[in-house]
Amino acid sequence: MEGLAQLREPDEVAHVKQSEYLREHIAKAVVEASSKLGRVWLTTIPFQPSLRLTDFEVAAALQLRTLASEREAHCTNCGETNFFGHPEVCLQRRFRRVARHEGAKHIMGQALASTPGTRVRLEPLGHQTSRRNDIQVFSLLGSQATGLANAEYDLTVVSLANKEARATKLPNQDTDPSRLANKYLDSVADHKVRHRPTSNLPFHPIVFSLGGMMNGSTTKVFASWKRVMTRGTYNLMLKRLSLCLLQARVRSFEL
């Protein structure tokens, strides 16, 4: 009997930890779903092909939206417990990350390039490891005329279900999901700033969670773009980004 008690304890501890984690992750998922990029896809009318979702994507998105996890209790890719949020961080499904990064980069690059007097240079695919920046913006007429200064932007899309996000804590046992998510996203942005390549251009990290949240400094970058882009361009960019993140998120999802 003694042996059994010893066996049971770590199991119970693991179970409590798992449900604590689940509660926290679900709370973050609700905050993500209410963010601008996390919800715009729901109200986007597919008036052009780039704004269309497949039936599978809609079904998977609604399943995530209702906070349901995948049907299988264990991941069919890696065999780990299939907790809510696991598909985003599954080691066996990681290869899909490049696609979401590339898609979002091009959407932002196109919107910026449509600002008159602006030249945009996108880092070609395959250069992510060379630590160069994703998007470079050059103002040909000067920032006075275009409202957009020369700058370099670096894009990072992260899951709030990953280990670092889960390990992020707030002082005084604060468990507010929005502040927790922001603290983690800020730490990702700070890391990018500390490890940026040497350059004379002002550097701005752009950090999204896979569910659509942005940290404070990214929100400021978007506010500065909103001032220089036409309303149509800016809104279309948000819609396309929202869809792009959603498509990337559900691509590895199994209904």
* Positions in the binding site for Zn ion (CB under 5 A): 75, 77-78, 80, 90
Which lies closer to Zn ion via its Cβ, residue 14 or residue 78? 78
Judged by beta carbon, residue 75 or residue 241, the one nearer Zn ion is: 75
CB of 80 to Zn ion, least distance (A): 5
Please report how close the Cβ of residue 108 comes to Zn ion at its closest, in angstroms. 30
Question: At its nearest, how many Å lie between Zn ion and the CB of residue 100?
Answer: 17
Residue placing its CB nearer to Zn ion in the complex, 77 or 187: 77
Q: Residue 87 Cβ, how far from Zn ion at the closest point, in Å?
A: 7
User: Closer to Zn ion at the Cβ: 85 or 205?
Assistant: 85
Which residue, 145 or 255, is less far from Zn ion as judged by CB?
Answer: 255
CB of 97 to Zn ion, least distance (A): 14
Q: Strand 135-139 relative to strand 151-158: parallel, antiparallel, unpaired?
A: antiparallel
